[in-house]
Structure 1
Amino acid sequence: MPESSLAQPRIHGSPSSAGRYGTMTSLVLVSPLILLLGIAFAYPVGRLLWNSVFAPEPTLAHYTRIVAEPLYLVVLWRTFQIAFIVTVLAFLFGYPVAYAMARIPGRRAMLIAACVLVPLWTSILVRTYAWIVLLQRNGIVNTVLQETGLTETPLQLLYTQGAVILAMTHVLLPFMVLPIYSTLRNIPDDLAKAARNLGAGAPQAFIRITLPLSLPGAAAGTLITFILALGFYITPALVGGPRTLMMSTLIAQQTTELLDWPFAGALSAVLLTSTLLLAALYRRALSFSKGFSNG
């Protein structure tokens, strides 16, 4: 029997999952998820944004208040500044960890993976309180500094912007490591070996081969980390203070303490719009740089 006749049934015998189900069946299967997202996410967010414009009557006073009072713009700028710094630090610390996970064989790689995943399975509240224990005036860090003679009095480490950045970087580090690791793991080792055989050194092979091929994972990790950092609430609220107020804490104050839901909706709309705009620009820049490099 000809070889082509044997290959034909093999192609048509493995249809994709999209071809097995009709449109109605697919809608029925995803309807519970759509219903859950609509009730738990779309409706609350939509109601909050609606109240920012139409409660108690149609007005844009809540948005003009954000622009008129410098405090809210300062908080918005601080939020993006801290999120950017956290993302950069998470990338600088996370890329070597992901590289080690992908390249080191055996139990050592499993040990590194456990060090990354175990904190991810721990409550954010527990990890934040751990940083409070470390950074408070009578904490471990100040005790070590005083006992070694580096400082005479306790330093103000807690309730500072540096403490917020450090704690947030620690909490969000797995979200940077895992996407980069998944990309590095799929890069064949033969590519770097071939570059070495052609005369490239280890740093040059990494810069010319490994790093460019790992950029999709790095882009995904930076985007996830940056968006999560913009909306972080627990860690800035506990480790930071009034001087490090972020948008999430400000929105929570407007809803729980001042009960000003329309203004909280306006703040949420500004933060959401800014986040979506930056995410779109980030993706556009990545697609542009990819097309430029391919050209």
Structure 2
Amino acid sequence: MSATGIESLAARRAGRPDANAPELAADERRERLHLFGLSLPALLVIGIVAFLPTAWLFWLSFIDEGSFSLAHYERMVREASYLRIFWSTFEISAVVTVIAILLGYPLAYLLSQLSERAASLLLILVLVPFWTSLLVRTYAWLVLLQRRGVINDWLQGLGLVDAPLRLVHNYTGTLIGMTHIMLPFLILPTYAALRTIDRDYLKAAASLGASPLRAFWTVFFPLSLPGLMAGALLVFVLCLGFYVTPALLGGGRVLLVSMKIQQNAGMYFEWGAASAMGVILLVATLGIFWGLGRLVSLDRVMGER
């Protein structure tokens, strides 16, 4: 700390007026300007890569036949097919998120209870799917789930079913494929949060007479919620814009917003309609972020009270 800073600190502790306050304020402003100058190139890159395309997307959504219009938004409100597509997108995203929580949280909890060496070895198995192309994994599920696929042959061989089950090109196949792809995105942040929880809290709960199950639900689980919510939100948002897996495993029978956007832009060359759907999806996603942020802040306020 500089001599001026030491003198200012001593003056504040003694309750005397700080004669160096204007100089310190000027130094703080200069430091902020220097930090802003250092971060300016990164801010420009973010603005060019992220904000300019988003602004162009907003502008294009209001253009119809060369003039400013709300026709694209009016059509989405008026036509029930668009509402069904948005409902299907959010429904599948929510279901996949719930399934990922039910499957991923127990696994993350198990990993958090192991030693660091054992947990690291098992985490490799969680990360293995990332080493394979998304398209390859989706086609692998297509081979496994089709009528003459491995799963149906196995079920019929055991005598569990008489006829092949319809596991692909429908809602079921889409859920299975999307859950498999998204599961690591929930396990990793949840495991990171569980690993940081101090086990002394559970010991304290046990010393006060709590059973292991009660200690888990009243102490451990609430502390793990931030990591679980982060993973669930990540899975849900990624599902909203998912395209490859629903398109292949859904077989055209499951139509999501991303697929409709591709149809409007690639097949019908209706860039305005595609942009309008993208804008609505973006606004809905930001609304979800805002709502969850409000919910978390409200929970914290209630907890403090």
TM-score (normalised: structure 1): 0.88
Q: What does 1:58-97 align with in structure 2 at a 5 Å threshold?
A: 58-97=68-107
**Using the alignment, how far apart are the partners of 1:148 and 1:25 within structure 2?**
71
Partner of 2:281: 271
**1:258, 1:34 → 2: CA distance?**
36
Q: Distance in 2 between matches of 1:33 and 1:168?
A: 34
Aligned-residue offset at 1:243: 2.3
Shift of 1:82: 0.5
* Correspondence for 1:135 among 142, 145, 168: 145
Give the whole-Å Cα distance in 1 for the aligned partners of 2:196 and 2:45.
34
CA distance in 2, matches of 1:133, 1:123: 15
CA distance in 2, matches of 1:281, 1:121: 35
- Partners of 1:156 and 1:26 lie apart in 2 by 59
Question: Which structure 2 residues correspond to residues 219-230 of structure 1 after superposition, within 5 A?
Answer: 219-230=229-240
Query: SS at 2:269's partner residue?
Result: coil
Match of 1:280 in 2: 290
1:243 is paired with a residue whose SS is coil
**The one of 33, 56, 65 aligned to 1:47:** 56
State the distance in 2 between where 1:68 and 1:157 align: 34
For 2:170 and 2:90, the matched residues in 1 are separated by 16
| Worse-superposed segment, 263-272 or 26-35 | 26-35
Against the structure 1 CA distance between its residues 36 and 130, is the aligned structure 2 distance closer, same or farther, given a 3 Å change threshold? farther
The 2-side partners of 1:258 and 1:182 are apart by 45
| CA–CA distance in structure 2, aligned partners of residues 246 and 199 of structure 1 | 51
Q: Which has the larger radius of gyration?
A: 2
- Equivalent in the alignment of 1:15: none
**Aligned AA (1:41):** A
Structure 1 residue 64, shift from structure 2 partner: 0.5
Match of 1:26 among 35, 60, 66: 35
* Residue 177 of structure 2, aligned match among 164, 167, 177: 167
Deviation at 1:198, TM superposition (A): 2.1
- Please tell me the residue identity of whatever aligns with 1:127: R
Partner letter of residue 38 of structure 1? G
Partners of 1:104 and 1:33 in 2: CA distance: 40
CA-based RMSD: 2.0
Once the two structures are TM-superposed, the CA of residue 144 in structure 1 deviates from its matched residue by 0.6
Unaligned runs of 5+ in 2: 1-5, 10-27
The aligned counterpart of 1:16 is none
- Secondary structure at 1:22's aligned position in 2? helix
Alpha-carbon displacement from aligned partner over 1:45-98 (angstroms, at most 9, x marks no partner): 221221111341011011010011111100000000011111111111111111
Unmatched segments (≥5 aa) in structure 1: 9-18
Contact (CA 8 Å) 1:135, 1:141: kept in 2 or not? yes
Once the two structures are aligned, what percentage of the paired residues are identical? 43
CA distance in 2, matches of 1:165, 1:76: 16
Determine the C-alpha separation between the residues in 2 that align with 1:27 and 1:117: 37
Q: Secondary structure at the match of 2:76?
A: helix
What letter is aligned with 2:51? A
Name the aligned partner's letter for residue 54 of structure 2: V
Q: Is the 8 A contact 1:48 1:261 kept in 2?
A: no
SS state at 2:62 partner = helix
1:118 Cα deviation from its structure 2 partner: 1.8
Cα pair distance change 1:170/1:32, threshold 3 Å: farther
